[in-house]
Amino acid sequence: MQKLKHPNIVELYEVIYTQNNIYLIMEYCAGGDLKRFCMTRKINEEMAFNIVRQVARGFEELSKFGIIHRDLKAANILVHQ
């Protein structure tokens, strides 16, 4: 994931290993997740198209690296405002 540099993919800055834990230092997405975003705003057709396009571009980048996301849902899509 540290090799991925794309505007539609959350950036992984660093991985810290301790004896009992693994810490992932990732880009902060102030908008929260897409599920909460949709619950707090009215999403028009243009916004929905833009969101779908951005998700598709992120998946296109992942596929270039042979990465498969197996838990796609609104709660796992982060929004950056």
* Rounded Cα distance, 76 and 11, in Å: 14
> Of 19, 71, 73, 81, which is the active-site residue?
71
DSSP-H helix ranges across the chain: 34-40, 45-64
User: 14 forms bridges with which residues in the sheet?
Assistant: 25
Active site residue 71: yes
The catalytic site residues sit at 71
